[in-house]
Structure 1
Amino acid sequence: MASSENSGPSPVNYLRGRIATESGIIEDGVLAYDGDRIAYAGPAAGFPGGDTGPERTFPPGSLILPGLIDTHCHGANGGDFASGDAAEARRAVDFLQRSGTTTSLASTMTAPPADLLKALSVLAGLAEEGVIAGIHAEGPFVSSVRCGAQNPDHIVAPTPEYVAALIDAAQGRMKTMTYAPELPGADALIDELTTHGITPSLGHTDCDTSTAAASLALAWEEMDSTGFDGYSGRPTVTHLFNGMPPLHHRSPGPVAACLRIAKAGNAVVELIADGAHLDPQTVLTVFELVGAENIALVTDSMAATGLPDGAYHLGSSAVTVTDGVATLDRTGSLAGGTAVLLDVVRRTVAAGVPLLDAITSATVVPANVLGLADELGSLRLGLRADAVVVSAELRLLAVLREGLWLAPL
């Protein structure tokens, strides 16, 4: 867990300033918290307390956001979630939390079965502690043609035995799994995942439009029949555009189906809006086509996040980072990201996406994907006291997590 600057919160501490809520920005607002829970979030004029003054003050134009939520990240600050090393994972989470990502899933990579099972077991323990919100398994049931940084030597089609072993190793803490729908056994995999409360995430696929559409429809139906609720009951799409055939007017591939189904509200598409994985105009176009409520901004961050250019590893694959862009030594393809989620939000806004839309896709939507909308993702009464204070330029000023101020980076 990230370190804090004070030993514990005082009752009903509060901040005053501009506050980003789901209904809009309150120009003169108060965010108050009692312990680890939000006690008030609204106009300053309606705040019943405040005789002692705000706990902290920030520069004019600053904005208080909900804590950011990343559902797809592989590590940071030298820590790799796929390593099976708990200390590495803690180091990564500490950095991510202090960067403003107050909640994250830990993403694993395709790997030899023994290594993957070990990593899942270690991460399950960290999820039990509350260090991470759960696990995202990226593979091993993906396309070897569109493997990206996934090691093709360990990509396999799903079998009942291997699927059961992975689910067991995760000890009920696996939240999402990326899969390629064209693989034999993919439909049975969807059934098994949804039965265990795990969201299927279509990705790293070479499938055509009809296959993608049919698979997302099946996932939607299975999630509905097994008790997923509301907006948490939607399949996701792992980093749309990346790890799949490009959209072509005579061969639209999975992208067309994913856009159409997301527009209908029946799927959530991830976007790595870091300036390297997607052109800013592509990001803007997707927001305008499908709406912020159907998009989850993610980082796909890896161990090099927060560190200088150089040589790193993503899972078992060697990676070189040059000018902040990570590429796979083996093929030269993109190999994860090096941005944190606040960077992604800032670049999304710079692309022309309205600020509240970008915030929604980094808070409300991922909270719904995780089934945690009653706990995270917004600044409202009773939710966990997670907040990020940023400058008018969306630069990090301070992070509050569970009612504790985290030590700055």
Structure 2
Amino acid sequence: MLLKNGKIVLENEIIEGYLEIENKRIKAIKAGDTSKLGIDLKGNWILPGFIDVHVHGGYGVDFETGDQSRFQIFAENVGQEGITKYLQASVTNSLEANDHYYSEFGNFMTNQELTNNLTQAKCLGAHLEGPFIDPSRKGAHEEKLLKKPDIALLKRWNDLANHKIKMVTYAADFQDGSFTQYLVNENIIPSIGHTNMTAKDFERDWALGAKHITHLFNGMSGVDQHRPGLAVAGLIHDDVLVEVIADGIHLQPEILRLIYKMKGPQKIAIITDAMNAKGLPDGDYLLGQLPVVKTGMKVALKSSGSLAGAGATFDHNVRTFYNTIKMPMTDLVKMTSLNVAKELKIDDQTGSIAENKLADLVIMDPNLEVQMTVAEGGVIYEKLESNAKNVYMNQAISNG
């Protein structure tokens, strides 16, 4: 496959030209025009495929569907958002329910590796969000099911998931440091969130290796001159990567500007935190076992009106953050792809556009609307005026 006449956003520069894809990988990146057969992108952007490390679901599917065929449906749909890789997040469930869900998820992950499907986004593993969180900052988690961080329970679920839990959100002040140390030792990303801890409390776990914060400002202690909270810790530590729900609902524009100014593009990860109602009509849904209502891109608990996950797509969040800040495109792709690829230790394979890396790409128009998504060399979504795959194949046939 050859994609030409595009603005290719590399890590630190933008090239107007074309790229060639062969055997799942980027074979060549060239400036200028070419007479070779290929898909004409008409000056659109070529960005690295988006990586969402905190998404519960969408399109009628979430982790609590508990069925590997439903996990498959989700993987087939997120390409329309520009997502090529993701971590699927669970919410707080009963022990027995989690046993079932993580077993099904493990089967899905095994099947994904065996089939090597090039028509869908790739799930990299699970993000366990709950039950190890603070009841006072529970958000849309069922309080009676919450527990203090428990290594034995985590090991149990990770075993069921065939060791595919890649990240855990937890209230670090509800453990003595041993849970954090266990995560670090197991190469599971410790993500601090849903806690009322102080910035000073954070120092112990930061020293142990906790360098990720779940959806900054949401579900945590904030900025208080007498009791600075976790949000402050996330802002002042240069080596901490912070998740940002940039849907325009969870965070106001002034807060997005503050985060960008304090953290810079290297330590921000745009996420969705989306739940199963993403991509579906407004109405009543369930987040775990909690009734919620979706209105536009806002999802709230029916019982209290509190925000309950999100209904926005990844590309919407990208547009919102970009239009708020107007940052360089080379900064934007760090926040959508490269930063989390580095954290997941897969940046040698994906997360940026470079020769020999996997061809994980999203094509966007000048308004940052997704036109086409390519995952490991396969077109998994397209919105081009003419069918890109057919155009390319017909050109190749006529040439032969």
Asked if TM exceeds 0.5, the reply is yes
1:272, distance to aligned residue in structure 2 (A):
0.4
Amino acid at match of 1:167: N
- Counterpart of 2:119 in structure 1 is none
Deviates more, 1:116-125 or 1:358-367: 116-125
SS of the residue corresponding to residue 332 of structure 2 reads helix
Q: In the alignment, is residue 249 of structure 1 matched against residue 249 of structure 2? A: no
Mapped partners of 2:194, 2:2: distance in 1: 46
1:107, distance to aligned residue in structure 2 (A):
0.3
1:170, distance to aligned residue in structure 2 (A):
2.3
| C-alpha contact (below 8 Å) 2:190/2:212 kept by paired residues | yes
Mapped partners of 2:216, 2:344: distance in 1: 19
Mapped partners of 2:326, 2:194: distance in 1: 26
| C-alpha contact (below 8 Å) 1:301/1:336 kept by paired residues | yes
Amino acid at match of 1:32: E
Amino acid at match of 2:21: Y
- Counterpart of 2:14 in structure 1 is 25
| C-alpha contact (below 8 Å) 1:302/1:338 kept by paired residues | yes
| C-alpha contact (below 8 Å) 1:202/1:216 kept by paired residues | no
Amino acid at match of 1:37: R
- Counterpart of 1:286 in structure 2 is 259
**1:7-406 maps to which residues of 2 (within 5 A)?**
13-26=2-15, 28-44=16-32, 50-53=34-37, 55-60=38-43, 62-128=44-110, 129-130=112-113, 131-183=122-174, 185-220=175-210, 235-261=211-237, 264-265=238-239, 267-354=240-327, 355-406=329-380
Q: Which runs of 5+ in 1 are unaligned?
A: 1-11, 221-234
Deviations 1:52-83 (A, max 9, x none): 33x212344x1111111000000010001222
Mapped partners of 2:125, 2:4: distance in 1: 30
| C-alpha contact (below 8 Å) 1:101/1:340 kept by paired residues | no
| C-alpha contact (below 8 Å) 2:5/2:42 kept by paired residues | no
| C-alpha contact (below 8 Å) 2:3/2:41 kept by paired residues | no
Q: Which runs of 5+ in 2 are unaligned?
A: 114-121, 384-400
| C-alpha contact (below 8 Å) 2:90/2:129 kept by paired residues | yes
| C-alpha contact (below 8 Å) 1:213/1:258 kept by paired residues | no
TM-score by length of 2: 0.89
SS of the residue corresponding to residue 363 of structure 1 reads helix
Deviates more, 1:73-82 or 1:350-359: 350-359
| C-alpha contact (below 8 Å) 1:287/1:353 kept by paired residues | no
1:113, distance to aligned residue in structure 2 (A):
0.6
TM-score by length of 1: 0.87
Amino acid at match of 1:196: E
1:14, distance to aligned residue in structure 2 (A):
3.4
| C-alpha contact (below 8 Å) 2:2/2:18 kept by paired residues | no
| C-alpha contact (below 8 Å) 2:132/2:150 kept by paired residues | no
Mapped partners of 2:39, 2:8: distance in 1: 14
**Percent identity at matched positions?**
30
SS of the residue corresponding to residue 39 of structure 2 reads coil
Number of positions where the alignment pairs a residue of Structure 1 with one of Structure 2:
373
Amino acid at match of 2:223: L
